[in-house]
Amino acid sequence: MVNDLEWLNTQFDQHGVLVSAYVLANGISHERIQTLIAEGHLHRLSISLYAKRPGKIRWPSIINAIQNQQAIPVRLSGMTSLKVHRVIKEKVEEAEKVQLVSNQFEKLPKWAHEQNVSLVNKVSRIFKKVPDAFISSVNVEGMSLKASCPELALLEHLEQVTDETRFAAALTLMKQIQTLDVELMKALLADSLSEKANRLFLHMAQQCSKHTDIEWPKAFSPDCISLSEEVITVIQDGIVDKQHRITVPAFYPA
């Protein structure tokens, strides 16, 4: 029979950090936790969060604890998801903000904000409930983390565009994406509740098809989904893209 110390060591090898509620749920009492801390087998990183020994904690361990030990329904999104899915070649850097998203506000535990990891937790309005087809499990440093699929992650990234700087960065990002599941993206656009994100995607796909050699943007014409007649303002004092009925920066013709 595995004793509690052996169990803890195995868990630390798999997860990096452990949340007290998870430890308690697996039969180790508060009193035993305090004894293990006193004996040096546990190191308290924050209230309710423990490591095997002092040291820097990598971001996948923090996300794993949030998702799989505390069962908080947030997922990797935006740039972070695109990077871990290797849709773009860059890696998630040590000091980079880790992008999380949920469909309603989910409060992260206090300990998550007390580590050497910067977390950005947004609410997405693309779906009321995300279909399973648009959520992936991705292996990051040996841990299975929940993430938006690349297509949804891209649309969630476009949801956050509010000014010319973010617009330009999003367009540059889309030009880096070599492959995209066209049929999955079309299904996503058809079901998405965010007309802003949909129109930005279609507008930028059209721009990408003009200025890059990648093939997938050519699959998205302005009429691939129905758009309302209303013009949506994304860029204040921008010009109107009449095809997609959205305001965009004036630094190139819409």
Torsion of CA 91, 117, 107, 86, to 10 degrees: 10
Of 49-53, 71-75, 143-147, the one with minimum mean pLDDT is 49-53
Q: Tens digit of pLDDT for each residue in 134-157?
A: 999 999 999 999 999 999 999 999
Q: What is the CA radius of gyration of the chain?
A: 22
**Domain edges within the chain:** 4-51, 56-151, 161-254
pLDDT score at 254? 47
Axis crossing angle, helix 182-191 with helix 195-211, rounded to the nearest 10: 150
pLDDT > 90 fraction of the chain, expressed in percent and rounded: 71
Q: Is 60 exceeded by the pLDDT of residue 175?
A: yes
Q: Tens digit of pLDDT for each residue in 200-224?
A: 999 999 999 887 788 899 999 877 8
CA angle 42, 48, 52 (to 5 degrees): 20
CA distances from 35 to 45, 74, 181 (A): 16, 33, 52
pLDDT score at 98? 96
26 Cβ contact partners less than 8 Å away, ≥ 6 residues apart:
7
Confidence band of 53 (pLDDT split at 50, 70, 90):
confident
